[in-house]
Amino acid sequence: MRRESVTPMLLILPAMAYLIVFIGYPIVGTFQLAFSGSKGWLENFIYVFSSKDFQNAFFNTLILGATVIPIQFILAIIFALLINKKWKGYKVLLYIIATPLALSDVTAALISYSIFAPNGYLNKILLNLNWIERPLYFFGYMFKSREFLVVALTEIWRATPLVFVILLAGLQSINAEYLEAADVFGFSAWKKFIKITLPLLKPSIVSALLVRTLFAFQIFGVVWLLAGRDITVLAGETYYWYVFRNNRNIASTYALIIAILTFIVGWFYIGTIRSKHLEEGVRT
């Protein structure tokens, strides 16, 4: 490592300038758009907060996150423990689990549509098994709760691998000697998991939780394609107000609300990490 101040600054400057122009300045612009209106600077927020659409979108975004994230975590942790055993063929399964990482939310939505469509494979298979008499409908304004189910299943399928990858990286960094020591003391597998693996995995769990919560606030493609505005979500409303209502101010207001939620979650996360370091400091 070299100690210098001019060269590294010159090397970093272009990247920083680019980020200021294409991320920093637009963020300021989002504020401007959200806080400008003909009837005072809070006009857009008053409109948005009092609208039923916002309340639904906010509620739906939260509910979707609260349903999907715990299931993803349970599945991901089971997969990660399974892969970490390093049995024959674990590498193949690792790549298979990672496959959905390549796919966009739009693709994932279309994939799940091929299964749940009226003529989709689920209906075809059930009909051919004679388990149902007529096709089950999962889409349409009439079947909101079924749409919700399909959206949740799609999200679980698409994003469990994401959590899995973070948790696996965490598991692999755990020193095997701790577990060997536990074996010496005759810990059961369950006790080893609860007393050793889980506490050591905490940083990975927190960071996976952060990533998932942040993405949950941005959920858009899957919901938009599968449910349209039957199930409204915050990012979907941003898109709707910009593309269909041509109103940049309201769209930016929704965008800003997403940004603020993101910021709060990030802050909460940094707080958790910091308190963890404090605890360690006290103990040693």
Partner 1 sequence: MKKFFYVLTFVAVSLWLLGPLFFIFLASLTPSSDFYSMNKIFPSRLTLEHIYKLLVNLGGWRAMLVSIQVALVAIAVSFALGIPAGYALTRYIFRGKNMIKLVMLFTRSVPLVVIAVSLVTMYLRLNLADTMFGVALAHGAMVLPFVVLITSSIFSGVFVEYEEAGMIFGLSRFGAFLRITMPLALPGLAASAIFAFIMSWNEVFASSVLAITNRTLPAHILGTAMASPDYFKFAAGTIMAVPALIFIFLIRKYLISMWGISLK
**Residues 104 to 133: which contact partner 1 by CB under 8 A?**
104-107, 110-115, 117, 119-121, 123-125, 127-128
Indicate the residue among 165 and 182 with the shorter CB distance to partner 1.
165
Output the CA angle 281-190-211, nearest 5 degrees.
55
Indicate the residue among 103 and 179 with the shorter CB distance to partner 1.
103
- Minimum distance, C-beta of residue 191 to partner 1, in the bound complex (Å): 20
Indicate the residue among 121 and 195 with the shorter CB distance to partner 1.
121
Closest CA to 257 of 234, 241, 239, 233: 234
What is the C-alpha separation between 119 and 126, in angstroms, rounded?
Answer: 11
214 touches partner 1 by CB under 8 A: yes
Sequence-separated (6 or more) residues with CB below 8 Å from residue 75: 156, 160, 163, 164
211 touches partner 1 by CB under 8 A: yes
Indicate the residue among 182 and 222 with the shorter CB distance to partner 1.
222
Indicate the residue among 277 and 283 with the shorter CB distance to partner 1.
277
What is the C-alpha separation between 206 and 138, in angstroms, rounded?
Answer: 34
Interface positions, 87-106, toward partner 1 (CB under 8 A)? 87, 89, 93, 95-106
16 touches partner 1 by CB under 8 A: yes
Interface positions, 133-192, toward partner 1 (CB under 8 A)? 135, 157, 161-162, 165-166, 168-169
- Residue 186 sits at φ, ψ, to 5 deg, of 75, 35
79 touches partner 1 by CB under 8 A: yes
- Minimum distance, C-beta of residue 283 to partner 1, in the bound complex (Å): 25
Sequence-separated (6 or more) residues with CB below 8 Å from residue 233: 57, 60, 61, 64, 219, 220, 223
The 216-255 contact track toward partner 1, x by CB under 8 A, reads -xx-xx--xx--x------x--xx--xx----x--xx--x
- Minimum distance, C-beta of residue 185 to partner 1, in the bound complex (Å): 24
8 touches partner 1 by CB under 8 A: yes
What is the C-alpha separation between 58 and 266, in angstroms, rounded?
Answer: 18
- 60: which 2 tokens? 């739906």
Q: Is 82 exposed, middle or buried (0-12, 13-18, 19+ CB in 10 A)?
A: middle
How many residues would you count in the chain?
284
What is the C-alpha separation between 124 and 121, in angstroms, rounded?
Answer: 5
Q: Which stretch binds partner 1 (CB under 8 A): 40-48, 58-66, 181-189, 258-266?
A: 258-266
Interface positions, 36-65, toward partner 1 (CB under 8 A)? none
- Minimum distance, C-beta of residue 3 to partner 1, in the bound complex (Å): 5
